Structure 1
């Protein structure tokens, strides 16, 4: 599966393209930069939490040739630069590292709360940092990126499960390619009705949240403050893509 979102959107390099290095992840890609904070920071948080045991060597991520200052590369480096993110990801992975003696007290809802808290914090930190990278994208694609970032706040409040099967099922309703200037919602011809509906829903949700100054999200979070509320919220999300 290749949506092209991790390739160089400026086309200055061949990073991520078939005529270059197809597995290359471009530092110029907004999606790549955002996902660094949703992949590398969690990984280093897991390392700090001791999820991999006592490692013989310190792990250090190789920096990109550009924008080096936008990222951190080791547990110590990230702890000094983004301590809140490291604290939250570490807390999540410490919760995951349950022993057989304490497994009976493990609560999935608590784990999902910690995971989504860290996930939302990572996005909130990275979103303004990589705002300039949106200029490389078409307006529809840039809108989709910001719409998705906004939607994560709403999804997170439901403690939505992110197991492999659920994630695999739901990603089918997201756009399988980069959006272009000619793509107009909800009538993108090579997208399924569900994909068009999901994209339009994300756009409307973002606009509504902006128009209310974030009040819509606050009301949603209040409604999701109980397990019964979160169950209803998850059902609404499932109904959106299945209807």
Structure 2
């Protein structure tokens, strides 16, 4: 049985997160083109589509299209494991990563926020990803590290070449650039991502037949993926704290609030397949926040988008107010499969007509 405080925590968190999926999917108006990250069709299909130099596959992770190609290679190489969960690889739980990255690109969050360079701007180097972008740097640990973990696990089989990731022009010590390099710098993070892909590989023989595919446990796969995901964020947050100075105060707070909310979402083993992720992030802000943006009345944002930002801010404050206890209670409540199912349903099912207000409840 949960304690009264635990039940309160469950109520607070679910009320806080509920506006994210407040509208019915039919109201999101996601077209087929919008369902995929920008330029998805132009991204490299597999690893051998990248340049090969000195017997190495060379990837420029600071070019949006090439980083997108890393994701596309991961999606294609892992497609056979998710065939039973949706047509055309739509049930692949790795979709959450490139879709989030596509949203960052579409909303200008990968461009140079300092204004020193034209990196990432339409009138400059449009496909450039700035190393001064907090979002771009954080995403490196959710793109290149998973990718190199997959390489090490054997997802791509025996490659004819080594992998080399090109460094940015500055902050080179904040990143790693090969399987060996990343293992030496961040073994725990590489271990977590490798474990996820090793789980997929361990099901390969059974995945060959749809009749035996039921032994592939989606909840286990989601648990391993989310563990690695949250480890990536935890690793990147202190490392790129200084990059927040380039952002407006509202945008910096939003980035921090979003990173905090991911821990709560992760605890439910939330499904990050193509349709679910698209529905989930349909209410995220469609542009960078600026100093003049005041919640909850940003005029060019929908009511749902304003509510999401207010809710994420409140969740961060409530968790900080309790010294992280709110997250721990939530994680405890989500420690069983039945609890996680309830958590996902609460996140997905509560409507915007919910009368309880976290701000009043928490006194924030």
TM-score w.r.t. the length of structure 1 is 0.97
Q: Is 1:167 the counterpart of 2:277 in the alignment?
A: yes
User: Counterpart of 1:62?
Assistant: 166
Q: Is 1:38 the counterpart of 2:38 in the alignment?
A: no
> Hey, what's the Cα distance between the residues in 2 that align with 1:190 and 1:104?
46
Cα deviation, 1:121-140, whole Å, max 9, x if unaligned, reads 00000000000000000000
Residue ranges of structure 1 left out of the alignment (5+ in a row) = none
Asked whether the equivalents of residues 7 and 16 of structure 1 are also in contact (C-alpha less than 8 Å), the reply is yes
- Across the aligned residues of Structure 1 and Structure 2, the Cα RMSD in angstroms comes to 1.3
Q: Is 1:96 the counterpart of 2:200 in the alignment?
A: yes
- Note the C-alpha offset of 1:104: 4.0
**Range moving further from structure 2, 228-237 or 43-52:** 228-237
> Hey, what's the Cα distance between the residues in 1 that align with 2:277 and 2:139?
16
- Note the C-alpha offset of 1:240: 5.2
Q: Which of the numbers 317, 328, 345 marks the counterpart of 1:235? A: 345
Q: Which of the numbers 163, 167, 186 marks the counterpart of 1:82? A: 186
User: Counterpart of 1:8?
Assistant: 112
> Hey, what's the Cα distance between the residues in 2 that align with 1:44 and 1:19?
33
User: Counterpart of 2:123?
Assistant: 19
Q: Which runs of 4+ in 1 moved over 4 A?
A: 240-243
Q: Which has the larger radius of gyration?
A: 2
Residue ranges of structure 2 left out of the alignment (5+ in a row) = 1-37, 39-105, 208-212, 354-364
Asked whether the equivalents of residues 198 and 240 of structure 1 are also in contact (C-alpha less than 8 Å), the reply is no
- Note the C-alpha offset of 1:186: 1.1
Equivalenced residues, count: 243
CA spacing shift, 1:182–1:222, aligned 2, 3 Å: same
TM-score w.r.t. the length of structure 2 is 0.65
- Note the C-alpha offset of 1:239: 3.4
Asked whether the equivalents of residues 45 and 93 of structure 1 are also in contact (C-alpha less than 8 Å), the reply is yes
Cα deviation, 1:140-166, whole Å, max 9, x if unaligned, reads 000000000000000000000000111
Relative contact order, higher structure (CA 8 A, sep 6+): 2
> Hey, what's the Cα distance between the residues in 1 that align with 2:176 and 2:233?
15
